[in-house]
Amino acid sequence: MRMMKCVVFVVVLTFLQSRTRGDAEVSCVFMESCILPCSFKAGEDLVLHWFQVTSRIIPVHSFYNNQDQFTHQSNSFRGRTSLFKDQISRGNASLRLTVVKVQDEGRYMCYTGTDTGTGRSFINLKVYAPVRKVDIQQVEHRITCSSEGIYPKPELTWSTSSQSSVTLQNKPTVQQTEQQLYSISSSLIVSGTDLDYSCTVSTPTNKRRATWSQPTSINGSATETTIPCTSSNTPLTGLIWRFNHSHIILNQTGTDSTVSEEWRQQVESVSESGSLTLKDLSSDQEGIYTCELSDAEETYVTNTFLRIERSPGDVEK
C-alpha cells in the first residue's frame, strides 16, 4: 500500500509538470480491442503501473513481484486489461484494453521502474464509433435520413442531383445514449422536381452517404419481370428489397441471402448488380418496389412502381 501511494504521488507530480509535452495518440474502435504502447529499458524488479489521468488518478493495471496486481484496479477496467507477458522481459509494457468504451477516452500514463531506473510516457486515447450505415426512407412526401451508434458527434448534410449542387439547410435532431453514442436524423419535404436527394453523415474519422432516387414506373409481365436496381462500381456489402416501403422481400449480406416467407413463390433470382426477377405475379404485387443497395461508402435507394400487364391467356391467382 505504501509503495502504491508513493507511485501515485510521483504520477500526479509528473503529470502536472508535463502537461505541455507532446503525447502519443492512439485511436480505438468502440467495443473492440486496443493496444496502448509503452516500452522501457529492461531490468530486474520491474514495477509497472498504468493510470488514466483525468481530474483524478485512476488505477488501470499494475504489475510487480512478477505478477499482475489487481487490488487497486478501478472497477471500470476490471476484466478488460492485460499485458504481453512473454514480451515484458524484452521491455514491452504495452497494455491491451478490450471492449473499449467511450468513457475510456482520455490521457493515460505508463510508469515503469527497474533496478536500472524509472520511466514514464503518456498516451492520448481517442475513441470512435464509425458511421456504419445511413438509412434513407420516404413516407408520403417526406424523406427521412438517419444513422445511429456513432461517436464522436456526427454532422448531417443534404444535397441534390442538380448541377448547381445546392446544399439544403435543415437542422438535424441529435440524441445521445447512455453509452454516449450519438444518433442523428433529419427530414425533408420532397418537391415536385425530378431530383435525387443525398444525405451524408460524417465524423472526423469517416462518412457515409445515402442517395434516394425519384420513383420510376415500369410495365411488367405477370409471368416474369425484372426490376432494375441502381448499380455500384464497387463490391456490394448489403442489399434489401422492399414492397410498398414496409414489407421486406429479400435481405442479402455478402453471399448470404434470405427471402421472406411471403415472397418465396415470387422471387426467381437476384443479379450481381442487385436487380430482382419475380415470377407468377398477381395484381396484389402491383406497387412500389424499393431497392436499398450498399457498398463500402454509400447506400443507394431506388424506387420503382411496377404495373403488371396481363396477356389474354393469363389467369389471375
User: Domains of the chain (ranges plus CATH)?
Assistant: 2-128 (2.60.40.10), 129-210 (2.60.40.10), 215-317 (2.60.40.10)
Question: What's residue 67's pLDDT?
Answer: 95
Residue 59 carries which DSSP code? E
Conformational region of residue 284, where left means phi above 0, alpha means psi within -120 to 50, and beta covers everything else: alpha
What is the residue-level pLDDT of the chain in tens, covering all 317 positions?
444 445 444 544 454 444 434 589 999 999 999 999 999 998 899 999 999 998 899 999 999 999 999 999 999 999 999 999 999 999 999 999 999 999 999 999 999 999 989 999 999 999 999 999 899 888 777 889 999 999 999 999 998 876 544 456 678 999 999 999 999 999 988 766 677 889 999 999 899 999 888 788 898 888 899 998 876 666 778 899 999 877 899 998 877 889 999 999 999 988 888 889 999 998 889 998 998 888 878 888 888 999 988 665 555 54
The predicted structure's pLDDT at residue 165: 43
Nearest to 228, CA basis, from 272, 162, 286: 272
pTM: 0.77
Task: Give the span between the Cα atoms of 299 and 292, in whole angstroms.
Answer: 7
The whole-angstrom separation of Cα 197 and Cα 301 is: 10
* Residue recorded with cell 444513422: 147
- Specify the DSSP class assigned to residue 246: T
